[in-house]
Amino acid sequence: MKNIKSIVEKIFSSRIKYPITLIILAAVLFAGYKIFSNKSGKTTYQTTKVELGTIISTTSASGQVISSNLVSINTNASGIVSKVYVKEGDSVKAGQKILDINLDPSGKLKNTSAWSSYLSAKNSLDSAKTSLYSLDSQMWAANQKFINDAVARNLPTNDPTYIQQSDDWNSAESKYKNQQNAIAQSQANLNNAWLTYQLSSPTLVAPSDGVISSLTVAEGMIIGSGITSSTDSSTSQRVGVIQSPGNPLSSFNLSEVDVLKVKTGQKATISIDSLSDKTFTGKTVSIDRTGSITSGVTNYPVIIQFDTNAPDILPNMSATANIIIDRKDNVLLVPNGAIQLLNGQSTVRILKDGKEQSVTVETGISSDSQTEIISGLNENEEVIISSSTSTTATSSTSSPFGNVFGGRGGATFIRSTGGSSQRN
C-alpha cells in the first residue's frame, strides 16, 4: 500500500509532458483504490426465544365420508307411481307405507313369480319340519332298543348285536341333527323369498325406523324400466333412504409409516373440502392393519367417527383428517427451522452475549411448526432461526487519490428478536 502511495507522489512531482499517460495512470490507480479499499462484513440474525407451552403431534390423512346409519328403500317393481305417502324429512316406522305402484305387465309377472317362490319355500320349510318329527321318533326308538337289549343283557362292546344297535342309534341321531340344519336352510330360503316378494310388491314400505331422505320419486313417475331380473336384488332401484340416529363415519388412508403411530380411540380433527368454513372433531374407531396395495402404494384404511351429526355432512364427500398422536403441556419449544442435524445429533444456534454458539440438544415430539426440547436449552434463551452475511465498501467521499489509504471501516451486525430488529 505504501508503494502505491509513493508512486502517486512521484507521478505528480515529475514533469510529465504527455496528458494521455497521466489519464491512464489515474485509471489504474482508481482501480487499485477499489480493490484495496477496506470492506466490512455484516451478519443479520433472525432469532426467537425458547418458550414454554403445549405441543400437539399429529399425522394427516385424506379420505371421504362413508355411508353410515342409512338404510336404502329399494324396489324391483316396474310401473307408474300412483301415490307417495311421505316427503323428505318425515319420520317413519318400520312397515309404514312409502308409496304405491300401478304395476305394468312385467311388474305383475315379477310379483306373481315372487309370490310363487315364497309359497314354495314355505312348503319346503313345513316338509322339513315334518321330517324332523319322524327322525326324532326314529332316534329315540333306536336308543330304547339299544338300552333295553344290548345294555340290559350286558353284552360286551365287541359283540355284533351291541355294535349293530349302537350304530343304529348313532345313525338315527345324525339324521335328526342333519335335518335340523335342513330346517335352518329352508327358513333362510323362506326369508329370502319373502324379501324378494316385498321388492316386487306394488306397495313399498319402510324397512326400518328413521327419517326419510334422498327421496327420488313422485306421483306419475315411471320406475323399474331398467330392471330385468325378478330375483336379483342387486338390480333394485333405490327410491330413497331412511336415516337412523347416529354420528357419521369417514374412511382415511394411512401410509405404512403413519399406521404404526395410530391407535383406536385417538382424537382427530376433520376438514371437509366442500365445507371449508367448518372443522369437525372425531375419534378413530377401527384400523385395517392388513392394508391393500394400489398402483404399488400400500394404504391402511382407518375409520373415524364424528363426535356430532350434521345435516350437511353427506356420504362420499372428500375430507382430510389430522389424527392427534401425542400431546404434551409445559414443555420447552423452538421453531422447527431452528433445529439442525450435525453428525447425527440435533443442534441449535444461540446468541449469547452477542456471539453465536452451537448447542447440542435432545428433541422430543414435533408439530407442523415447533419441536419439543428435552434438554440442552433453557426458557427465554435466544435461538437463531436464520442468518445472512453481507459486505460493504467504505471510502472517503473526496478525491479517490487523496484518501485512498486512509478510509475507515467497522464491523456491524443486526440482531432480530421476536420479529423486531436492533442495530448494535
The length of the chain in residues reads: 424
The whole model's pTM is what?
A: 0.58
CATH topology of domain 58-68+245-328: Elongation Factor Tu (Ef-tu); domain 3 (2.40.30)
Q: What single-letter DSSP state applies at residue 114? A: H
Q: Give me the pLDDT at residue 17, please.
A: 47
pLDDT at residue number 161: 92
Report the pLDDT value the prediction gives residue 294, as an integer from 0 to 100.
86
pLDDT value of position 108: 94
Instruction: Report which residue type is found at 142.
Output: A
What's the pLDDT score for residue 19?
Answer: 57
- The whole-number pLDDT of residue 34 equals 54
**Quick one: pLDDT at residue 70?**
86
Q: What pLDDT score was predicted for residue 5?
A: 54
Q: What pLDDT is attached to residue 227?
A: 47
Bridge partner list, 57: 326
**Per-residue confidence of the chain (424 residues) as pLDDT tens digits?**
555 555 555 555 554 445 555 566 666 566 555 555 545 567 788 889 999 999 999 999 999 999 778 889 999 999 999 999 999 999 999 999 999 999 999 999 999 999 999 999 999 999 999 999 999 999 999 999 999 999 999 999 999 999 999 999 999 999 999 999 999 999 999 999 999 999 999 999 999 999 998 899 999 999 987 544 444 444 789 999 998 888 999 999 999 999 999 999 999 999 999 998 899 999 999 999 998 898 888 999 999 999 998 888 888 999 999 999 999 999 999 999 899 988 889 999 998 888 888 999 999 999 888 999 999 999 999 998 888 876 554 443 333 443 333 333 333 333 443 433 333 3
List b or e across 120-154, with b for residues whose CB sees 16 or more CB atoms inside 10 angstroms. ebeebbeebeeebeebbebbeebbeebeeebeeee
In this structure, the strands spanning 412-417 and 39-49 are parallel
Sign of CA dihedral 101, 107, 112, 116: negative
* AA identity, residue 96: Q
**Dist. CA 12–CA 316, nearest whole Å:** 90
Q: How far is CA 305 from CA 122, 190, 241, 309, in A?
A: 42, 36, 20, 10
Where do the domains of the chain lie?
A: 2-36, 45-51+333-423, 58-68+245-328, 72-242
Fold classification of 45-51+333-423 is 2.40.420
